[in-house]
């Protein structure tokens, strides 16, 4: 992760033939004394969050002794960038443990090498979004019965093509596929697709269509995090559309917002991340949600779902730590929430 990076000196090694990129004058003096070699001092302030400051070589074999890589990452001299160590996974510009990555993916998903993946249930069973657990077909049928839908022998509860069934506790709804993306996905117009995996300290900005660097080295032992850039890339630009990764975290539950079948509502969300003493690890996520048309606040359950989605997106940033470039960062975005259709019985094999 991009936690406070450890500035470590190398120790004595008479076989070292060449040293470059020592970051500070005090380190330079120590290295020259220990190795009697050439050291070049480079200013650390304002540099990328994936740099090697001290490279040690024996012939053509080089390793990085001092870098801006955070905890869980190391500098790869072959690829000339920070890479996650074994046991850590590249998630939203950070290096997270499997447990942390699973939590980021959210209920009903887990982390794999390719990113967030849907948990698989037995045929006919469904994931309950309120718990993240698979519920048996019989319980799904009870949900259907409570909605006035009768599921017969050889049938399961399902949805029309282009939509997906979402079970949320005692309720269920059919929602557009665009409202079901994982936190590491974007909507490409036809399907949820994995976002470009950026280097450590950078994040994919779907609005710009490029990786945006948000972590920079500094003269201290902490990385400086451009929180405004991170917030805009993660949730959406101020006044614009929310990212699919963020909006899908709550738009897949239209009943939480009281939206009837066949209806759509635009929800306006203000997301604010505050950092006491500018410490990223102490960051607090707050949201304010309202219907864009009327300005009325959304129902309490909808507001809670929005808040949970915002905190889920922010989790890798807070785990990474560092020092915020500002005390807070805010964006206001709009997310469409569509209740496409009421679930209906479909054949257990095949579609409607």
Tens-digit pLDDT profile for residues 58-90: 887 888 877 767 677 888 777 777 888 889 999
Q: Rounded mean pLDDT of the chain?
A: 85
Looking at 32, 66, 86, the residue that finishes a domain is 86
Dihedral angle of Cα 332, 303, 263, 164, to the nearest 10 degrees: 100
Domain count, the chain: 2
DSSP 86: T
- pLDDT score of 12 more than 50: no
> Do 198 and 308 fall into the same domain?
yes
Pair type for strands 224-225 and 323-324: parallel
Last residue of a domain, one of 86, 104, 134: 86
The answer to whether residue 131 is domain-embedded is no
Q: What is the pLDDT of residues 229-288, one digit of tens each?
A: 999 999 999 999 999 999 999 999 999 999 999 999 999 999 999 999 999 999 999 999
Whether 148 is in a domain gets the answer no
Residue 180 inside a domain? The answer is yes
Domain boundary among 67, 86, 105: 86
- In this structure, the answer to whether residues 217 and 72 fall within a common structural domain is no
Report the chain's terminal Cα–Cα distance, integer Å.
Answer: 46
Q: What is the pLDDT of residue 68?
A: 67
24 occurs within a structural domain: yes
Q: Is residue 134 part of a domain?
A: no
The pLDDT tens digits of the residues spanning 266-281 come to 999 999 999 999 999 9
Helix, strand, coil fractions of the chain, as percent rounded to 5 = 25, 35, 40
Q: What is the pLDDT of residues 106-128, one digit of tens each?
A: 999 999 999 999 999 998 899 99
- Cα four-point dihedral sign 232, 234, 235, 241: positive
pLDDT of residue 208: 95
Lowest mean pLDDT among 45-54, 112-121, 133-142: 45-54
* Percentage with pLDDT > 90 across the chain: 68
Q: Which of 189, 191, 141, 190 is nearest to 167 (CA)?
A: 141
Residue 81 lies in a domain: yes
pLDDT of residue 63: 81
Q: Which domain holds residue 39?
A: 18-86
Task: Write out pLDDT tens, residues 194-228.
Answer: 999 998 889 999 999 999 999 887 544 578 999 99
Question: Is a pLDDT exceeding 70 seen at residue 131?
Answer: yes
205, 323: one domain: yes
Chain centroid, CA 33 distance in Å: 44
Confidence of residue 7 (pLDDT cuts 50, 70, 90): very low
Token pair for residue 152?
């017969």
Task: Return the C-alpha torsion angle 335, 336, 341, 342, nearest 10.
Answer: 40
Residue 80 and residue 191 share a domain: no
pLDDT(6) > 60:
no
Kindly give, in sequence order, each residue whose CB lies less than 8 Å from that of residue 209, ignoring residues fewer than 6 positions away. none
| 302 and 195 belong to one structural domain | yes
pTM, two decimals, is 0.81
Could you read off the pLDDT of 164-176 as tens digits, one per residue?
999 999 999 999 9
Assess if residue 171 is contained within a domain.
no
What are 259's two structure tokens? 């939206």
User: Which of 10-14, 46-50, 236-240 is predicted most confidently?
Assistant: 236-240
Comparison of pLDDT for 201 and 47, the residue scoring more: 201
In a domain, 93, yes or no: no
């Amino acid at each position: 992760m991009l936690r406070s990076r450890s500035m470590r000196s190398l120790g004595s090694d008479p076989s070292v033939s060449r040293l470059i990129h020592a970051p500070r004058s005090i380190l330079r003096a120590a290295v020259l004394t220990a190795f009697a070699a050439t050291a070049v001092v480079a200013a650390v302030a304002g540099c990328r969050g994936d740099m090697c400051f001290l490279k040690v070589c024996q012939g053509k074999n080089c390793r990085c002794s001092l870098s801006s890589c955070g905890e869980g990452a190391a500098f790869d001299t072959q690829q000339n960038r920070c890479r996650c160590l074994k046991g850590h996974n590249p998630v939203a510009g950070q290096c997270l443990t499997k447990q942390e990555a699973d939590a980021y993916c959210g209920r009903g998903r887990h982390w794999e090498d390719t990113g967030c993946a849907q948990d698989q249930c037995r045929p006919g069973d469904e994931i309950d979004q309120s718990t993240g657990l698979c519920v048996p077909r019989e319980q799904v049928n009870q949900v259907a019965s409570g909605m006035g839908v009768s599921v017969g022998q050889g049938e399961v509860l399902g949805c029309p093509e282009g939509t997906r069934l979402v079970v949320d506790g005692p309720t269920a709804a059919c929602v557009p596929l665009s409202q079901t993306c994982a936190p590491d996905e974007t909507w490409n117009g036809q399907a949820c697709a994995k976002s470009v995996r950026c280097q450590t300290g950078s994040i994919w900005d779907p609005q710009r269509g490029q990786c945006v660097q948000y972590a920079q080295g500094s003269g201290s032992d902490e990385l400086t995090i451009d929180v405004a850039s991170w917030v805009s890339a993660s949730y959406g630009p101020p006044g614009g559309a929310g990212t699919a990764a963020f909006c899908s975290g709550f738009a897949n539950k239209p009943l939480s917002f009281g939206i009837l079948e066949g209806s759509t509502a635009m929800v306006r969300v203000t997301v604010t991340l505050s950092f006491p003493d500018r410490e990223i690890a102490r960051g607090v996520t707050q949201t304010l949600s309202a219907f864009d048309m009327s300005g009325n606040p959304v129902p309490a359950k909808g507001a809670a779902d929005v808040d949970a989605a915002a905190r889920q997106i922010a989790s890798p940033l807070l785990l990474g730590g560092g020092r915020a470039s500002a005390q807070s960062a805010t964006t206001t975005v709009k997310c469409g929430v569509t209740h496409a259709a009421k679930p209906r019985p479909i054949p257990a094999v095949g579609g409607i």
